Every structure is written in C-alpha cells, then in structure tokens.
C-alpha cells in the first residue's frame, strides 16, 4: 500500500524505470529527458549525502537553488530521505544581497532547518545568514555531491502518512515566516480529488514554466505529474519571462494537453509574443488552460483566445481554478470539457449592497468568471463579518473544510489557531456562491497579488519607512488592478516633510529604487504627500483601504 | 545609425513604453537591470523595442546584466549587430 511519497516514487521506478517523466528545457541546450530511473538515481545521491551528514528524517532542509536538475534531484533526495524540503526563491540580480540574507535569516528562525542545499558560489551568502546559535548543522554544496553506485536506505519509506512531507512559503519576509506544512496523506487526498476534477488521463501532457516555490507550480505542475506518472515538460520561470513564446512552441512540440497560468500570463502572452516566434505551431492538443492564483478576469481570457485561436486554441480549453497552499492546491475547478460559466451581475448592487444580483440590461454590469464547484471531499461556505453563513449570491468571506488541509503553519501555532473558525479554514478571500459555483471577487486580507505572487504590504512599507526624508511610520502600500497587464500593481503613498518639487522627486526616485532592490516587485507609482495626509484607524493603525480610496479620488480629480 | 541616435531613441522608448513616465530622463550609464528600473516582466519589452526600432534581435539568453546593464552598453550591442 502506498502511504508515502517514497512508496509512490519507488513503485514508479520499479514498474516503469525507463518511462520519461520530465522533459527539462534549458535555453541553448537540447531538452533533457529524465526517466524514473534517472530521477531516483540522481536523487539518491542527495539522499546518501543527507544520510552521511547525519540529517534525520523529519528535519527541514532548505533548498536555495535555481530551477534545474539540481533542484529536482535535491527535492526528491530530501523526500526519499524522509526530510522535509522547503524551496527558498533564488536571489535575482536586482535584489540586494543584504536584503536576501535578512529574508533567509527570518526563514531559518521560524523553520529551524538542519541543513541548507545550495551552490558553492552561493555558500558565502548562506554562511553570512547563519548565526552560531542557528539550527543549521550542514550546508551541502551541489558540486560536492558524490555519485553513489548503490542506493542508500530510503528512510522516507518509513514515514507515517500523517507526517509532514513538505513546506510551502510565499515570498517576502512575512510570507517566509508562514510556511504551510502538508502531510503525505493531505497531498495524496488532494491529488485523488483533483485528478477526477480535471479528468486526468495517462495520455495527458503537462507543460509548465511556473516557479516550484508556489503551490500551482509545485503541486499541479511538478508533484502531481511525477507522482501520477503524467509526462511533464518544464522550463524555468526565469527563462519564460524572457521568452514567453517558448511555452507555446513546447506545447506544440510535445502535444501538451494541460497548462496552468496565473491571470497576468494571459495578457503577457497575448501582448508579448510575435507571430514570427510561433510560426506553424499547433495548440489544438490543449484541452485545458487553467487560470489560477489571481482573480480570473473575463477580459484576459478574451484577449488570450483572440490572440491564439488562429493557432488552434479551442475556446473550450479555457478553465479556472480556485486554489491555495493551505488546501494543498485546488478548492474548486471549472471549465473542464465545457465552456466557463460567466455570471453578469449588477455593478451597483455588488459594490454597495455586497450582493451579486443578475440584472436587467440597462444597468452597468460586471462579468464574473466562475471558479466552479468544489473538488471531491472539499466544502465551501460564505460567511459574514460576524461569522454567520450567508445564502447564495451574498458576498462574504470564503471558508473551506476538506480532507486535504494543512497540518499547521509550521512552528506557528498562533497563526494556525487564528486561521480556523469552528473547523472551517478562513481563506481571507471574498466571494459568493451561485448555483453551487464559486465566484471570487476580492480579499479581506491586505495581501497584494502581483503576477501570481503574494506580496504583503507591510514588507513594502517597512522598506519605504527606511528611506531618508520619509516620515517615521507614515507610509502605506496597496494594490491596484491594471487592466492592460491583467494583474495588480503596487502603489506607495508616503508622507514627507519637504516642500520643493525637486526634493520630492528625489525621495520618490529613492523609494522606487529601494523597493525594486529590496523586494520581489517594482512599484507602479509613488505618491508623495504632506504630513497628516494618511488616514489612521481609531487604534492608530494605517488604514490601507481608506487610504487607497483617498488616493484614487485625488488621482481622479487631478485628471 | 550613430551611437548617440540609438541612445536617444532607446531612452525615449524605455521611458514611454516601459516605465510609463515619458518625462523621465534615463542616463546612458544608468543601471537598468541591476537597479530594478526595468523589472523581469519588462525585459521582453526591451527586446521587442530593439527589434521594432532597429531590426536587431536580442536573444532571451542575452536579457541579463552580464550582456548589458545600461543604455550605452545596449547601444553598442545593437551597433555590433547592425554592422554585421
């Protein structure tokens, strides 16, 4: 009986050693074919090294590696050993190393890893983030991994199905301090339900450019295909963002059938790919392109289909999914083998009464895209601010209950407890249910989603507060939706005590630069204001929503 | 086309189309990539601008600070290809 990831991997290895499971793309190289034999052999080298260094099953190992064969082997090397892998996003060239070190330090502090796996070139960065008292006993360098002829004992096979198998984090200081811990059983339960929801079959081919530190990339486009023996074509997000056309040439070449994308990627691909880059491609093999991890926009879908229809993309392939790491991945799914349902609702009722009423033609409307029905063994409800269940078509917080929930926020009992309400997990997202289907409309929590990536405004505000000239504690950051790009962008409002336009511009430039170099995002706008401009709540906190409204009003009036 | 002309054109296009700040002056030796001025989502726009304006292709493997980080370096890369 298969109870652990290790059981599943070894079963595939024994039964289908020569089956190619991963096609790894790398610019300037031929695609690398990886069979189950290659995967287990490559990963076993890491397992042996972890064993040799005295890393125990159940201990956390952080992987600081770029997307590529080392990351894949190190990940499964940890799994086969029974250690708990956690991927830390790699340092980008614009990020200040010092900032990266701070993020790494905060990840280490909460997660208490016993080892970190990285490149020799990166050892210095890692060492400087580790203090004497840190939990980290070993830094393992991929270049020094020995090749072993015989397999070590795979202690991962002795784990219990309820044991934690992996951790997932979102980016930034705040996100890194809140790791979602998932058990073997939770992941298997999710895959069991989700494969039915998407009618997964052995002739499917998944094509992905998604980062592996994110649930959509890690679960849907990495662990699911590898554990369920569905071929996976994978490229690094770093390469895709520079050459988005390669996603489509790969789908055509490998007859890809399934692809997951965050909403912004629909706009990005439609806008930034030239015809000559995708001459003669055929996208008719795609049976589902699944929009997930940002609010789904009808306009983005229209743009995408208009651009790629002539290459054989079927309108029926457009699908949507509501997912979160806390439920392993999917909560609901829609549009598999059928057209996505669109709910056209009255704009005024929606904004003022928080009701999603279908309407007479004369009023202004919003086209909402359905995220579908819950997958098996997952329930959804909508609750009011007081915590009461709401009827259909009333907007409130989405709460979920399932057989694939997180075990906990790792070493954060406080966060784990506060996220639950009478056995329901509070998602922090807003939405409504109509005819049993879920429509997601916004968020209660202040989190901003930029290009599918979760950004915590407090991380951005913290960076801006350190800029010289900005008044202490007088900063707010929030997200604004950009229709052209199909995603949110971050705006910062900062109070300063200078008068001249020149000085203000200088501060604004510094803020833009500091945020770019200290976080994973670039600001859309920095709005410099006089002292006492910002609105605070009665408890003295900066009210993000109220300040966002004030900003929008002023910008509108200035037009 | 002269180096100076390319620099002026690149500066104008980047300010208008990538930064959406038409009045922003970008100096020829100002870091573009390591400073985060052009974030990773906009690197591909830079390649498209170069292709449209100068008929020169920049490969995706060249869109990083090892190949160019300033407008002046990018202009040199373009001239090198125009003269081929």
Kindly state the average pLDDT of the residues A451-466.
88
Q: A516, B34: Cβ pair inside 8 Å?
A: no
Q: B40, A244: Cβ pair inside 8 Å?
A: no
Kindly identify which residue of chain B lies nearest to residue A91, measuring between CA atoms.
B34
Task: Determine the Cα–Cα distance for residues A457 and A335; give it in Å rounded to an integer.
Answer: 33
Supply the pLDDT for residue A453. 81
Q: Which residues, 6 or more positions from A43, have their beta carbon under 8 angstroms from its beta carbon?
A: A72, A73, A74, A75, A76, A77, A79, A80
At A482-529, the pLDDT tens digits run 888 888 999 999 999 988 888 998 999 899 989 988 887 888 889 999
Q: Is A489 on the interface with B (CB under 8 A)?
A: no
Task: Determine the Cα–Cα distance for residues A60 and B26; give it in Å rounded to an integer.
Answer: 46
Kindly state the average pLDDT of the residues A159-182.
89
Supply the pLDDT for residue A361. 66
Q: B43, A241: Cβ pair inside 8 Å?
A: yes
Report the mean per-residue pLDDT for chain A.
Answer: 93
Kindly state the average pLDDT of the residues A220-232.
98
Q: Which residues, 6 or more positions from A464, have their beta carbon under 8 angstroms from its beta carbon?
A: A470, A475, A477, A492, A494, A511, A514, A515
Confidence grade of residue A174 (pLDDT, cut at 50, 70, 90): confident
User: Over pLDDT 70: what percentage of chain A?
Assistant: 99
Secondary structure string (H, E, C) spanning A53-112: CCCCCCCEEEECCCCCHHHHHHHHHHHHHCCEEEECCCCCCCCCHHHHHHHHHHHHHHHC
Give the residue from A178, A260, A184, A182 showing the smallest Cα distance to A221.
Answer: A260
pTM check: above 0.90 = yes
Nearest Cα of chain A lies from the Cα of B33 at a distance, in angstroms, of 6
Q: B36, A516: Cβ pair inside 8 Å?
A: yes
Kindly state the average pLDDT of the residues A231-242.
96
CB atoms within 10 A of CB A355: 15
Which of A241, A451, A513 has its CB closest to that of B35?
A: A513
Looking at the predicted complex, does its ipTM rise above 0.85?
Answer: yes
CATH number for the domain spanning B29: value is: 1.10.1200.10
Kindly identify which residue of chain B lies nearest to residue A241, measuring between CA atoms.
B41
| DSSP SS3 for A492 | strand
Kindly state the average pLDDT of the residues A527-556.
88
Supply the pLDDT for residue A13. 98
Q: B39, A94: Cβ pair inside 8 Å?
A: yes
Mean pLDDT lowest for which of A125-129, A303-307, A358-362? Answer: A358-362
Q: Which residues of B touch A (CB under 8 A)?
A: 33-37, 39-41, 43-45, 47-48, 51, 59-61, 63-65
Q: A516, B48: Cβ pair inside 8 Å?
A: no
Q: Is A85 on the interface with B (CB under 8 A)?
A: no
Confidence grade of residue A197 (pLDDT, cut at 50, 70, 90): very high
At A20-55, the pLDDT tens digits run 999 999 988 999 999 999 999 999 999 999 999 999
Residue-range definition of the domain harbouring residue B75: 3-82
Q: A451, B41: Cβ pair inside 8 Å?
A: yes
Q: Which two tokens stand for residue A76?
A: 């499964």
Kindly tell me if the per-residue pLDDT of A278 is higher than 70.
yes
User: Over pLDDT 90: what percentage of chain A?
Assistant: 75
Q: B36, A517: Cβ pair inside 8 Å?
A: yes
Contact A318, A340 (CB under 8 A): yes
Which of A27, A268, A515 has its CB closest to that of B60?
A: A27
Give the residue from A452, A403, A402, A450 showing the smallest Cα distance to A427.
Answer: A402
Supply the pLDDT for residue A454. 82
Task: Determine the Cα–Cα distance for residues A10 and A30; give it in Å rounded to an integer.
Answer: 28
Residue A428 bridge partners (DSSP): none
Strand A60-63 and strand A115-118: the pairing is parallel
Q: Which two tokens stand for residue A417?
A: 């407890």
Chain B residues lying within 8 Å of A272, measured CB to CB: 44-45, 48
User: HSE-up of A444 (CA within 13 Å, CB side)?
Assistant: 16
Chain A residues lying within 8 Å of B52, measured CB to CB: none
Nearest Cα of chain B lies from the Cα of A252 at a distance, in angstroms, of 20
Mean pLDDT lowest for which of A197-201, A517-521, B53-57? Answer: A517-521
Supply the pLDDT for residue A435. 96
Domains defined for chain A, CATH in brackets? 1-178 (3.40.50.12780), 342-443 (2.30.38.10), 448-558 (3.30.300.30)
Contact A465, A246 (CB under 8 A): no
Nearest Cα of chain B lies from the Cα of A399 at a distance, in angstroms, of 33
Supply the pLDDT for residue A351. 83
| Domains contained in chain B, number | 1
Give the residue from A76, A77, A83, A81 showing the smallest Cα distance to A60.
Answer: A83
Kindly tell me if the per-residue pLDDT of A193 is higher than 70.
yes
Contact A204, A230 (CB under 8 A): yes
Interface test with B, best of A28, A66, A89, A94 (most B CBs within 10 A): A94
Produce one character per residue of A144-172: b if its CB has 16 or more CB atoms within 10 Å, e if not: ebeebeebbebbbbebebebbbbbbbbbb
| DSSP SS3 for A32 | strand
Kindly tell me if the per-residue pLDDT of A300 is higher than 70.
yes
Q: B48, A272: Cβ pair inside 8 Å?
A: yes
Mean pLDDT lowest for which of A28-32, A168-172, A261-265, B28-32? Answer: A168-172
Q: B47, A94: Cβ pair inside 8 Å?
A: no
Kindly tell me if the per-residue pLDDT of B34 is higher than 90.
no
Q: Which two tokens stand for residue A534?
A: 């910002």
Contact A465, A387 (CB under 8 A): no
Which of B35, B41, B60 has its CB closest to that of A516?
A: B35
Kindly state the average pLDDT of the residues A282-304.
95
Kindly state the average pLDDT of the residues A387-393.
96
Kindly state the average pLDDT of the residues A5-20.
98
Kindly state the average pLDDT of the residues A182-197.
98
């Amino acid at each position: 009986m298969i109870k652990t990831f290790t059981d599943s991997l070894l079963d595939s290895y024994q039964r289908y050693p020569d089956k190619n499971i991963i096609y790894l793309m790398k610019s300037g190289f031929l695609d690398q074919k990886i069979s189950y034999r290659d995967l287990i052999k490559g990963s076993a080298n890491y397992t042996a090294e972890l064993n040799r260094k005295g890393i125990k099953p159940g201990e956390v190992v952080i992987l600081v590696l770029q997307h590529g064969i080392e990351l894949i082997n190190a990940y499964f090397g940890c799994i086969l050993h029974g250690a708990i892998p956690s991927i830390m996003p790699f340092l980008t060239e614009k990020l200040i190393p010092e900032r990266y070190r701070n993020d790494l330090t905060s990840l280490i502090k909460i997660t208490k890893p016993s080892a970190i796996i990285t490149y020799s070139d990166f050892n210095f960065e890692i060492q400087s983030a580790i203090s004497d008292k840190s939990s980290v006993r070993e830094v393992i360098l991929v270049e020094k991994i020995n090749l072993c002829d015989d397999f070590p004992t795979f202690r991962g096979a002795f784990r219990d199905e309820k044991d934690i198998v992996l951790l997932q984090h979102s980016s930034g200081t705040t996100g890194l301090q809140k790791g979602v811990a998932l058990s073997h059983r939770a992941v298997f339960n999710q895959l069991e339900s989700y494969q039915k929801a998407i009618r997964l079959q052995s002739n499917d081919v998944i094509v992905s450019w998604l980062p592996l530190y994110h649930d959509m990339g890690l679960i849907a486009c990495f662990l699911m295909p590898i554990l369920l023996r569905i071929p996976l074509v994978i490229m690094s997000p770093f390469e895709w963002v520079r050459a988005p056309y390669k996603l489509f040439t790969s789908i055509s070449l490998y007859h890809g059938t399934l692809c997951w994308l965050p909403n912004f990627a629909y706009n990005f691909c439609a806008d930034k790919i030239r015809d000559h880059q995708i001459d003669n491609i055929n996208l008719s093999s795609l049976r589902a392109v699944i929009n997930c991890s940002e609010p789904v926009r009808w306009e983005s879908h229209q743009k995408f289909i208009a651009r790629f229809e002539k290459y054989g993309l079927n309108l029926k392939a457009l699908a949507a999914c509501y997912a979160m790491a806390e439920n392993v991945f999917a909560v609901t799914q829609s549009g598999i083998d059928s057209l996505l349902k669109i709910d056209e609702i009255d704009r005024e009722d929606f904004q003022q009464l928080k009701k999603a009423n279908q309407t007479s033609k004369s009023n202004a409307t919003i086209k909402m895209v359905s995220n579908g029905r819950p997958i098996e063994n997952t329930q959804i409800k909508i609750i009011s601010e007081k915590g009461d269940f709401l009827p259909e078509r009333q907007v409130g917080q989405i709460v979920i209950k399932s057989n694939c929930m997180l075990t906990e926020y790792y070493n954060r009992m406080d966060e784990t407890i506060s996220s639950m309400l009478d056995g329901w997990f509070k998602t922090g997202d807003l939405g409504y249910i109509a005819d049993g289907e879920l429509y997601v409309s916004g968020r209660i929590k202040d989190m901003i989603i930029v290009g599918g990536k979760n950004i915590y405004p407090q991380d951005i505000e913290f960076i801006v507060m350190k800029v010289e000239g900005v008044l202490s504690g007088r900063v707010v950051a929030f997200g604004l939706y950009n229709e052209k790009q199909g995603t949110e962008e971050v705006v910062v409002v900062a109070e300063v005590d200078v008068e001249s336009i020149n000085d203000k511009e200088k501060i604004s430039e510094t803020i833009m630069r500091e945020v770019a170099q200290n976080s994973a995002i670039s600001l859309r706008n920095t709005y410099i204001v006089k002292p006492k401009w910002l609105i605070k709540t009665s408890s003295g906190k900066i009210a993000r929503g109220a300040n966002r409204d004030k900003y929008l009003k002023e910008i509108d009036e200035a037009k | 086309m002269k180096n100076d002309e390319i620099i002026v054109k690149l500066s104008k296009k980047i300010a208008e189309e990538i930064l959406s700040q038409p009045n922003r002056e970008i100096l020829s030796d100002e870091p573009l990539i390591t400073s985060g001025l052009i974030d990773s989502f906009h690197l591909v726009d830079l390649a498209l601008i170069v292709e449209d304006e100068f008929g020169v292709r920049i490969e995706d493997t060249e869109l990083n600070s090892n190949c160019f980080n300033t407008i002046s370096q990018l202009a040199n890369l373009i001239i090198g290809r125009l003269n081929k």
